[in-house]
A and B are shown apart, each in its own frame.
Chain A
Amino acid sequence: MYKVLYNKKISSASFEIAIEAPLAIRNAMPGQFCIVMPHEDSERIPLTIYDMDPEKGIITLIYQVVGASTEELSCIQDEVFSVVGPLGHANEICANPEEFKGKRICYVAGGVGIAPVYPQVKFLKEHGFDVDVIYGSRTAEMLLIRDKIEKVAKKIRYATDDGSFGTKGFVTTILEDHIHDYDMVVAIGPIIMMKNVVALTKQYNVPTIVSMNPLMVDGSGMCGACRCEVDGKPKFACIHGPEFDGFKVDFDLALKRMSIYREEEKEKWEQRKKRMEGEANHE
């Protein structure tokens, strides 16, 4: 069991949770992820690390409620059953900052994708980089941790689908205007967003790193559920990724593979809602 310090709502659909789990962030680097289980019988939920306090052994994660399991996590107040991490590889730039010195780097985040972007931008700032961020979401209310990202980014530009904040449109609308300012892009967000970013950066030949978030079970290479096609070959996001060269990722396949359990997930969501209603009525 791991102590939960807080688990708070930070937008209509997103939560921030802080957990005491010293070994899960020991030697952790930006870009790596962890897996959380709310209860003993829960699903394993992979989440990229948002923030950590190594001295106190605290890991902080941001997640969006998208189904029964994340909803279950959002109900946790005191402790979670399991936190395992760090998993996967560190972001390539953070792992070898010397190799990227002098590069003009732009981070592109979509929705909760800002959570994994933040520690990278923060790390790079601490290592003498000035990186820009383009951050988009559906609407102003869903733009998260603005105060924190603004502190570490050199310049941050916002886009919302409905125009309620920043540029009306998508992150790619902004990126296209400024693409010549950058030597490198890191895009983290929904698959469709990363696909669109890569479609653009490929045109201008700006190398792009993406962070894949496929379905996953153990997260240690044992099961292969998280297979992504990279450069025509199957790669396991858990141990070969989660970050890959965006030019080589088959996003269409990744989108299709996300839907494997759609019906089962819907069913479990309904079951959970019914159970919750039942419990509420009981009280």
Chain B
Amino acid sequence: MNDEKVKGRLQSPEERIHNFNEVEFGFNDEEALREANRCLQCVNPRCMKGCPVSIEIPEFIKHIKEGDIKGAYEVISRSSSLPAVCGRVCPQEKQCEAMCIKGLKGEAISIGSLERYVADTAIQNNLNSITPAPKNGKRVAIVGSGPAGLTCAGDLAKAGYEVTIYEVLQKAGGVLIYGIPEFRLPKSIVGKEVESLKNLGVEIKCDVPIGNSLTVDELSKEYDAVFLGTGAGLPKFMGIEGEDGNQVFSANEILTRINLMGAYKEDGKTPIKKVEKAYVIGGGNVAMDAVRSLKRLGIDAHIMYRRGEEELPARRMEVEHAKDEGIVFDLLQNPKRILTDENNNVIGLEVVNMVLGEPGEDGRRSVTEDENSLHTVDCGMVVMALGTSPNHEALKHSDVKLDDRGLIVVEGTKTSLDNVYAGGDAVTGAATVILAMEAGKKAAKEIMEKLS
């Protein structure tokens, strides 16, 4: 029996750097079946232990083997409200697939690709996931429609709760809409997942800045429980000279203009700068998303990261895709100053080389500057992808307790207020979609325990 892993088909790098269409095509029926048949259906499935939301992986794969995609979708939907999203953006290589027994001697099952296949097939055929339990008359407000909020909403709605999500932007999805680019996660897919939550009875109110319009205190009185999934927050800057230059942007701004506002489209009404050469500072997933987006606008796009290749925090696959697309990685380098002309336009960067030292307490290797290496490079844009610091807009006029880093303090997922829960980046600092989903799931469980 041929046991070779089925490789996902990709748009070629030469082609995809000229469009924003999805890089991976996803399995067709034959590929999915062939990959599913590789699964050993372990009695004690290790893969499930690697899944933050405990999807019954062998069970859904079994349904694929039997050609029962509806059944597979039902199994996944029991645990996840966003399978088409997770199948695409979860770091499976560190989670389920890392645990897969087949990975010990050969290659792990492509669980992520199979999950995506099931979800996409369900969406194409308008398969309903789950019929919600009868309404129990309890009402929950959710602040923020990102992965944490959507997951919490989905679990509560399935259990019969009446759920209202409040979102400040004009579209639901949070980082899935404004942050992760179309070529990794098509917005139509996010739209469909949101649609299926609405079909479960979840109400979504966009354009509401909680904290300024309604407050958390008001919500906690009006609803039986409140979940805060407000996300990561304010983009960080370096605090170096020239950072107020006209073409210095946060990665969030670049991504928001492109993804949420459609600035990459020919007839897009929100503008985006098209320069010859740009540097994205940082080495995480957001940096990869930003740099690959800029490349697609025809910009000579570089990553500048102060540590080395091994230390890049981004998903390996994203780094590989970026390299294939011709992104230049300027590693072990750090900007010291942004150079601007008399009109405040960016003309270059003053850069210093970095030297890696021993790993520190956090396990990350320290870096020091090589003082003799100061040099300048030309560029017309600098994008900061350095992470975020907490944003407390939603908490205005309320007494939710924060820690000294400004993150929401929780016990389990409960905040210092009686019926207010929180999870996701607002609690942990910037992390991943799936961890936010795990927190949303956990909060839904705790809310149900409290209210039952």
Q: Contacts A224-B237, A224-B250, A264-B271 given; indicate if A23 touches B208 (C-beta within 8 A).
A: yes
Closest B residue to A25 using CB positions: B213
Alpha-carbon distance A215/B90, docked complex (angstroms): 34
Q: Contacts A23-B208, A24-B213, A221-B234 given; indicate if A234 touches B252 (C-beta within 8 A).
A: no
Q: Which of A23, A87, A268 has the most CB of B within 10 A?
A: A23
Q: Which of B170, B250, B252 has the most CB of A within 10 A?
A: B170
Report how many A-B pairs have Cβ atoms within 8 Å. 127
For A81, the chain B residues whose CB sits under 8 A away are: 170
B270 adjacent to A43 (CB under 8 Å): yes
A86 adjacent to B244 (CB under 8 Å): no
Alpha-carbon distance A27/B261, docked complex (angstroms): 28
B271 adjacent to A41 (CB under 8 Å): no
For B393, the chain A residues whose CB sits under 8 A away are: 220-221, 239
Count residues of B near A (Cβ-Cβ below 8 Å). Answer: 42
For A256, the chain B residues whose CB sits under 8 A away are: 246, 343-344
Closest A residue to B248 using CB positions: A227
B234 adjacent to A225 (CB under 8 Å): no
B215 interfacial by beta-carbon distance below 8 Å:
yes
Alpha-carbon distance A83/B213, docked complex (angstroms): 12
A217 interfacial by beta-carbon distance below 8 Å:
yes
Alpha-carbon distance A227/B212, docked complex (angstroms): 20
Determine how close the nearest CB of chain A comes to the CB of B283; give it in whole angstroms: 20
Q: Contacts A236-B234, A253-B344 given; indicate if A261 touches B271 (C-beta within 8 A).
A: yes
Alpha-carbon distance A218/B214, docked complex (angstroms): 18
A260 adjacent to B343 (CB under 8 Å): no
Determine how close the nearest CB of chain B comes to the CB of A260; give it in whole angstroms: 5
Q: Contacts A26-B214, A253-B244 given; indicate if A217 touches B344 (C-beta within 8 A).
A: no
Closest B residue to A240 using CB positions: B234
Instruction: Tell me the residues in window 232-256 of chain B with beta carbons closer than 8 Å to chain A beta carbons.
Output: 233-235, 237, 243-244, 246-247, 249-250, 252-253, 256
Q: 1/0 per residue B389-430: CB within 8 Å of A?
A: 001010000000000000000000000000000000000000
For B246, the chain A residues whose CB sits under 8 A away are: 256-257, 259-260
B271 adjacent to A224 (CB under 8 Å): no
Q: Contacts A43-B270, A84-B170, A222-B234 given; indicate if A217 touches B212 (C-beta within 8 A).
A: no
Q: 1/0 per residue A1-28: CB within 8 Å of B?
A: 0000000000000000000010110111
For A268, the chain B residues whose CB sits under 8 A away are: 269, 271
B170 adjacent to A37 (CB under 8 Å): yes
B160 interfacial by beta-carbon distance below 8 Å:
no
Closest B residue to A223 using CB positions: B253
Q: Contacts A43-B269, A257-B344 given; indicate if A27 touches B212 (C-beta within 8 A).
A: yes
Q: 1/0 per residue B344-357: CB within 8 Å of A?
A: 10000000000000
Q: Which of B205, B207, B261, B393 has the most CB of A within 10 A?
A: B207
B209 adjacent to A234 (CB under 8 Å): no
Closest A residue to B274 using CB positions: A264
Closest A residue to B384 using CB positions: A224
Q: Which of A23, A222, A257 has the most CB of B within 10 A?
A: A222
Alpha-carbon distance A37/B272, docked complex (angstroms): 18
A265 interfacial by beta-carbon distance below 8 Å:
yes
A85 adjacent to B212 (CB under 8 Å): yes
A23 adjacent to B250 (CB under 8 Å): no
Q: List 14 A-B contacts (CB under 8 A).
A: A23-B207, A26-B214, A27-B215, A37-B170, A41-B269, A87-B209, A87-B212, A218-B178, A220-B209, A223-B250, A224-B253, A236-B234, A256-B344, A259-B246
Task: Name A residues whose Cβ lies closer than 8 Å to a Cβ of B.
Answer: 21, 23-24, 26-28, 32, 37, 40-44, 68-69, 72, 81-88, 217-218, 220-225, 227, 229, 234, 236, 239, 253, 256-257, 259-261, 264-265, 268, 271
Task: Name B residues whose Cβ lies closer than 8 Å to a Cβ of A.
Answer: 168-170, 178, 205-209, 212-215, 231, 233-235, 237, 243-244, 246-247, 249-250, 252-253, 256-257, 260-262, 267-273, 343-344, 391, 393
Closest 4 CB pairs of A and B: A264-B271, A223-B253, A256-B344, A84-B207
